[in-house]
Amino acid sequence: MVIKRKRSVMDLFDDYFDDLEKEFERRRERLLERPSWNQKASTMEPLRDMIVTPTEVVVTVDLPLTKEKTVQVKPLDEDTLEISAEMKRKMTFKEMGITHHKGEFQRLHCHSRIPVPVKMDKMKISLKKGILEVHLPRKRRS
Amino acid sequence: MSEINIIEKKQIPQGATMLFGFPDVGLVGVIAASHLMEELNLAEVAYMDSKLLPPLIVLHNGLPHSSIRIFGNHNILLAVSEMPLAADVIYPVIDALIDWGKAKKVKMMVSLSGIPIQDRQDAKELKVFAAASTPEMLKMVQDKGIEALLEGYLVGPQAIMLMRCAQIGLPAMTLLAQCFVNYPDPEAAAEVLKGLAKVTGIKVDIAKLLEKGEEIRLKARDVMKRTQEEMSKMKKTQEYDIPVYVS
């Protein structure tokens, strides 16, 4: 005979939140699971990072092998930045050791969503050692 | 049959120095290992076979290879992984490699890795730190001009390698170059190789590595992204934490 232990309401809550967390994780992974390149647009997606401090949001983007003067940072709306830069030279799949895809890349391109309200018009950018740094002051709550 | 097998493809030298280059912050170990393989013309001498590893193979010239392989010559064995290790397989994988190395009577184990710093892009010089498995090894490293990492936390394969070696009394050290946390860092890899040359005499020309730095950063984006995911799961940021010792 199997004896079933009665489950408390807290157990049920725990299970519910565990399931919810797993579902979020699955969705997050599905969103991340896409190539880091776009063959049609001839672009590669650069690596990026973000730090949110009490006063500002700092977005950094790794832009190797790009021409410094071609780096563009455009606010698309109040919480999205579009970042792109032209590469110093075209890079083919073959050069990266891939022979089952054909194509070449000319730009690095990505979008970065800012998670808190910021003043896009006060944006400051700098580029050091191929790392783009974008400083966005945070909006104060009114 | 054990959960992890190391299959030897060639005769393995005894008394070699065993190096580890696993995906971690700045991919320092992987980039340094890849450069060592190229410069020293190291051949694949063994590989890991285990159902604990993800269902992934690496194709080279159309032929399948394990993602964890050991390359070597007459006096170096270099264990490398092409993909980041998930937290739950780090212990068995590192244990298997250490047991295998011990059976081959390696004279020393050295893991090549990084230690992240804030505002890395502003750093003019990158320091290399070391932690060791025994007081004698630590002294030797310091005598060779490498600063010891005296207090703090280490998270990841190099941490477990050092602890296991300390437990069994095997001379080991981990060399950690200051680096970016989330971006591939060939400059840091070059620094860690300079540190390796100081402590082991294994010297390679790093000019090509620095020359190809930007290309490496571009090519290594995908492995870096996967590594970021695993580092986040194993709470790699604990390395920034200030330790509290209760004595």
Overall average pLDDT of the A73-90 stretch: 95
Length of chain B: 247
Which run of H or of E encompasses B18? Answer: strand B17-21
Of B121, B214, B224, which has the smallest distance from its Cβ to A47's Cβ?
A: B224
Q: In what order do the strands lie in the sheet with A131-137?
A: A48-52, A56-62, A131-137, A124-128
Mutate to test the interface with A, among B211, B218, B233 (most CBs of A within 10 A): B218
- Tell me the domains of chain A and their CATH numbers: 37-137 (2.60.40.790)
> Does residue A33 surpass a pLDDT of 90?
no
Instruction: Give yes or no for B208 touching A (CB within 8 A).
Output: no
CA atoms of B102 and B168, how far apart (whole Å): 10
**pLDDT per residue of chain B (247 residues) written in tens, 0 to 9:** 579 999 999 999 999 999 999 999 999 999 999 999 999 999 999 999 999 999 999 998 899 999 999 999 999 999 999 999 999 999 999 999 999 999 999 999 999 999 999 889 999 999 999 999 999 999 999 999 999 999 988 999 999 999 999 999 999 999 999 999 999 999 999 999 999 999 999 999 999 999 999 999 999 999 999 999 899 888 887 887 887 775 5
- Tell me the domains of chain B and their CATH numbers: 4-116+124-240 (3.40.50.10900)
Overall average pLDDT of the A1-8 stretch: 59
The chain B residue lying nearest A133, using CA atoms, is B121
Return the pLDDT at A40: 86
Closest CA to B154 of B235, B63, B62, B38: B235
Query: Model-level pTM greater than 0.90?
Result: no
Of A65, A128, A133, which has the smallest distance from its Cβ to B214's Cβ?
A: A65
Q: How far is B135 from chain A (nearest CA, A)?
A: 38
Q: Are B152 and B239 in contact (CB under 8 A)?
A: yes
Overall average pLDDT of the A5-24 stretch: 72
Return the pLDDT at A29: 56
Bridge partners for A56 per DSSP: A137
ipTM of this predicted structure = 0.88
Return the pLDDT at B190: 98
Tokens 């340094």 sit on residue: B32
Interface contact flag, A44 B221, Cβ < 8 Å: yes
Which positions ≥6 away from A18 have C-beta within 8 Å? none
Q: How far is B127 from chain A (nearest CA, A)?
A: 18
Task: Output B123 or A14, whichever has higher pLDDT.
Answer: B123
CA atoms of B224 and B130, how far apart (whole Å): 23
Q: Which residues of B touch A60 (CB under 8 A)?
A: 121
Return the pLDDT at A27: 64
Q: Are B85 and B22 in contact (CB under 8 A)?
A: yes
Return the pLDDT at B209: 97
Interface contact flag, A47 B121, Cβ < 8 Å: no
Task: Output A12 or A64, whichever has higher pLDDT.
Answer: A64
Q: At what angle do helices B186-200 and B28-40 cross, to 10 degrees?
A: 60
Q: What is the DSSP string of chain A?
A: -PPPPPPPHHHHHHHHHHHHHHHHHHHHHHHH-S-SEETTTTEEPPPEEEEE-SSEEEEEEE-TTB-GGG-EEEEEETTEEEEEEEEEEEEETGGGT--SS--EEEEEEEEEE-SS-B-GGG-EEEEETTEEEEEEEBPPP-
The chain B residue lying nearest A95, using CA atoms, is B219
CA atoms of B56 and B30, how far apart (whole Å): 18
Q: Which residues of A touch B217 (CB under 8 A)?
A: 62, 64-65, 130
> Does residue A4 surpass a pLDDT of 70?
no
**A12: confidence class by pLDDT, cuts 50, 70, 90:** confident
Bridge partners for B132 per DSSP: B173
Which three-class secondary structure state does DSSP give residue B22?
coil
Interface contact flag, A64 B225, Cβ < 8 Å: no
Q: Which residues of A touch B182 (CB under 8 A)?
A: 47, 49
Rounded to the nearest 5 percent, the helix, strand and coil shares of chain B are 40, 25, 35
Closest CA to B118 of B56, B181, B167, B160: B181
Overall average pLDDT of the A117-126 stretch: 96
Instruction: Give yes or no for B122 touching A (CB within 8 A).
Output: yes
Q: Which residues of A touch B218 (CB under 8 A)?
A: 44, 64-65, 91
Question: Measured in whole angstroms, how far is the alpha carbon of residue B75 from the centre of its chain?
Answer: 17
Give the alpha-carbon dihedral of B1, B2, B5, B11, to 10 degrees: -70
Q: Are A116 and A138 in contact (CB under 8 A)?
A: yes
